[in-house]
Structure 1
Amino acid sequence: MSRVTELALDQAGYVGSLASTSWNLLPYLHTLDLSNNFFAGSIPDSFSNLTRLQRLSLSRTIPLSLNGLKNLKRLELQGNRLSSQFPDLSQLTNLSFLDASDNSISGELPANLPTSLVELSMRNNQLKGNIPANISNLFYLQVIDLSHNNLTGSIPSGLFTHPSLQQLTLSYNDFESVQEPGDSSQESELIAVDLSSNMIHGLIPSFMGRMRKLSALSLENNRFSDVIPTQLTLKAVVPGQGVSQLERLLLGGNYLFGAIPGQLLKMRDPGSVTVRLGDNCLYRCPLRFFFCQGGKQKSLMECKRLGQVFP
């Protein structure tokens, strides 16, 4: 019996069914790469004999039905033709990394994901509906990337108070609002938040200025109509002791109005800070200011389309 522990068959040009392989002869296998082939059908029953398998890459292949792989820690399904709803992975209790990006997965985001997940990426699919509230129960989660989908509704407040989440990317969806988490947002572990290119309206979420570790924030290309919150500009210019500086503050392409905050006017050059305020409704934001570049301010007529009264 073979003691092979790693097997790479990526880009080998294999065609046909996985069932034709005697997987029961490889009980010591812990890493299997089947990416970039032309396998069809489902995962064969003999896969259940791979009890030591910890990493499985199926990018740009097809098979599904994976719940028998109890020790699987890393699952790569990106770049396939996966459609319809996402398969049930609830029994993969050791799974820490899941990448199902660049498919055509429809339906809602699965509510029964393994609680062991550390990184979840399902960008560039056709997911719709709301983010389930119980995603906050994935206590070990550090990275979420659900960008380029059709998700709607409100972004749950639990994502901003999650005990381990560091990177949240929800850009290019159809979200309309952000739930306020309250004062507990100060203890957030989030370092980078990208909510750009949605349909979020109302006030800029000023609570993000109180998130101590946040250093990159993108709210570009939404429908925010508000003055720029002082909390955010202070965090970018004078963050204070024990608070991470906001090195990226991207607010362009909204309906922000009013004067440029005085803290920003004191910044003569960008230095290590990137601020973008272009394509808004701001008063006196000429392109000679580095933070006003990225598009002229909207016309008064366009700014009034939201029904907001601009001074």
Structure 2
Amino acid sequence: MTAQDSAIQASPIAVGGRSDRGGVPLAGLGVVAFSLTFPSTVWGLESFGPWSLVALRSLLAALLAGGFLLAGRVTVPDRRHWGPLAVVAGGVVIGFPLLTTLALQTSTSSHAAVVVGLLPLTTALFAALRTGSRPPRAFWAAALAGAAVVILFTVQQSGGALSGGDLYLFGALLVCAAGYTEGGRLASVMPGWQVVGWALVLCLPLAVAGTALALPFEPVHLTAHGIVGLVWVAAGSTFLGLYVWYRGMAEIGVARASQLQLAQPLLTLVWSFLALGEQVSAAAPAAAVAVLVCIAVTQRAGRGKRAGGTRATGRTGGGTGIES
């Protein structure tokens, strides 16, 4: 383990961070942005093929991020950061969007919410393995209970049947959890928006090549829904959502922030009903209350134990600190 890894591992992001005042609202805003991703992707597929949509999404988000990095005259990250940035890029910028877009060709937005129901628990597990954090038992009990509630509800909502896109969804779950964990670790040594920005810029050559290859072979039928869907998944989900998400994780911790995503499937069901006309079960209010209780327990348990028994100081060894 390098000195840099030790500094990141010892940082407070594993369980809790320096302040809840800004971290929880920021991570919560990221969850709201992410909850619109599946309905927006369905809209985007009205105008673009799956490969074109993913390539254009990455291209637009990378250009937006690159503009911010240039405007801020941000220096290029150290060489030791590019490995974790590649994991963020491969998992969050490319892997999750591509796999979920392919899945949404055969799955409904409501059914795809199953993968988000498992994502909070999977991210917390990745974070524990990667950083050596040890959240208290109450945290894990509430996280398991919340995952069970979300999974039971979303499976019941989709009729209990598995779809042909489920393999894509489970693959998306794994790569996204890895990307969230590495991004959360990096956000302890550089501002969260720079983590997102450099991960997107790293994908720019692939995005350009993918756009050039996909557009000539997939039909394009521009509609208002398709354009709005593309703009949202590029600027909202991929850039803005990841920016506030990583910044929130840097303050309250990967494990705690991940559990806020227990609310994401229920929000997705609401947007799917409003935007796509998909049906929502009458059990939704009860499931929402149960999920909110589980979220409250994970947040309280996460505050009770800091990684390494320390509070955040805003800087870690060799890092640039966290912007607040």
> So what's the TM-score if we normalise by structure 1?
0.21
Higher strand share: 1
Which structure ranks higher in relative contact order (CA pairs < 8 Å, sequence separation ≥ 6)? 2
Higher radius of gyration, 1 or 2: 1
Whose helix fraction is larger, Structure 1's or Structure 2's?
Answer: 2
